[in-house]
Amino acid sequence: MHIIRRRAWEVTERQVTPEHVVLNRRSLLAGATAMTILPSVFARADVPVTDFKPGRPVTEEKYATTYNNYYEFNDTKTVWRDAQALKQRPWTIRLDGMLKQPRTVGIDDLLKQVSLEERIYRHRCVEAWAMTVPWTGFPLAQLLKLAEPLGSAKYVVFETAQDKVMSGLDAPFYPWPYVEGVTIDEASNDLAFISTGMYGKPLPPQNGGPIRVTLPWKYGFKSAKAIVKITFTDKRPSTFWESLGPSEYGFWANVNPAISHPRWSQASERLLGSDERVPTQIFNGYGEQVAALYADRKNEKLFM
Ligand code: MTE
């Protein structure tokens, strides 16, 4: 039997979803036959209430899916139009480096080996805008378990797609491919998530479809989209934004309102949709779950 146990930080959909979104999703479900991920997602809508709340409404889907960052295509916020050209199937992910057996796995085979769930997370971009999104996917810890990294591996590195439809790859000054990484400890944290859907639908290309990582306590650039390779290593990776601007975008990139970006304050954030400005919280409000990860790293630049 498949038992869903909610953790302290989880919320039910009812607590945060505007009513019209729920209604839209019900009618979507009624007509859904082709989208195989849906039943397991919607089964979770009525699970018990828990005590951790995002404290803000879910962002309307139309805002979360039409205001994006995706530099492989271009640097405009309307990149969603161009991103539609990225084919979502077939899609494989290479697992390599320090693990028991390097291999390539097809996304649909991978999805058969994990338990999908829905999580409503806040997302905070380093540019000081924010959204709250119901992601569908599975804990990154499940992927670690399947990949079987060696005990000597210390980091998980995500490399993302470079496809001929991505015209931004021609820009000479970017250190392609887009690479991001976290420590094995961070990847094993309960909050670290692999997203393959949002708003109860397959993840759209502009939001990282068909597969991205979601790390809600870190600035959004750590959440790499369109993953094609996951490498286990004992060396801290040189990541895309850190190599572009180490004084502006660090490896750790944990959200902290008290530490300004060199060119702007991080004290508050603008909510997509309402444009309301709200105070930013340390670790994006997830400190209870993740602060302990950094207890022995006080000398590192953890917040930029
Ligand atoms: N992943 C790739 N491959 N390319 C990118 O340009 N941008 C990052 C991150 N992941 C980016 C990426 C940044 S800066 C942010 S804020 C988030 O994706 C934005 O995610 P969203 O478009 O789903 O809101």
83-99: average pLDDT: 98
- How far, in whole angstroms, is CA 21 from its chain's centroid? 21
Closest-CA residue, ligand 1 atom 11, reads 70
Q: Kindly tell me if the per-residue pLDDT of 57 is higher than 50.
A: yes
Q: Is 79 in the pocket of ligand 1 (CB under 6 A)?
A: no
Element (H, E) at 194: strand 193-198
Q: Is 68 in the pocket of ligand 1 (CB under 6 A)?
A: yes
Q: Is 65 in the pocket of ligand 1 (CB under 6 A)?
A: no
pLDDT at position 33 is 30
165-172: average pLDDT: 94
pLDDT per residue as tens digits for the range 182-240: 999 999 999 999 999 999 999 999 999 999 999 999 999 999 999 999 999 999 999 99
Q: Is 121 in the pocket of ligand 1 (CB under 6 A)?
A: no
pLDDT at position 32 is 33
Distance (Å, rounded) from C-alpha 39 to C-alpha 19?
20
Residue corresponding to tokens 């995002």 = 54
Q: Is 97 in the pocket of ligand 1 (CB under 6 A)?
A: no
Q: Is 71 in the pocket of ligand 1 (CB under 6 A)?
A: yes
- Our CA dihedral for 94, 96, 101, 107, rounded to 10 degrees, sits at -20
pLDDT per residue as tens digits for the range 65-84: 999 999 999 999 999 999 99
> What's the 24 CA to ligand 1 centre distance in angstroms?
26
pLDDT at position 10 is 52
Closest-CA residue, ligand 1 atom 8, reads 221
Q: Is 181 in the pocket of ligand 1 (CB under 6 A)?
A: no
Q: Kindly tell me if the per-residue pLDDT of 99 is higher than 80.
A: yes
CA distances from 299 to 192, 201, 293, 302 (A): 23, 42, 13, 8
Q: Is 207 in the pocket of ligand 1 (CB under 6 A)?
A: yes
Q: Which residue has the higher pLDDT, 49 or 266?
A: 266
| DSSP string of 7-30, one letter each residue | -TT---HHHHS-HHHHHHHHHHHH
**SS3 category, 148:** coil
Identify which of 66, 69, 272 to mutate to test ligand 1's pocket (most ligand atoms within 8 A of the CB).
Answer: 69
Closest-CA residue, ligand 1 atom 19, reads 69
Of the pLDDT bands very low, low, confident and very high (cuts 50, 70, 90), residue 52 is very low
In the chain, the domains with their CATH numbers are: 13-293 (3.90.420.10)
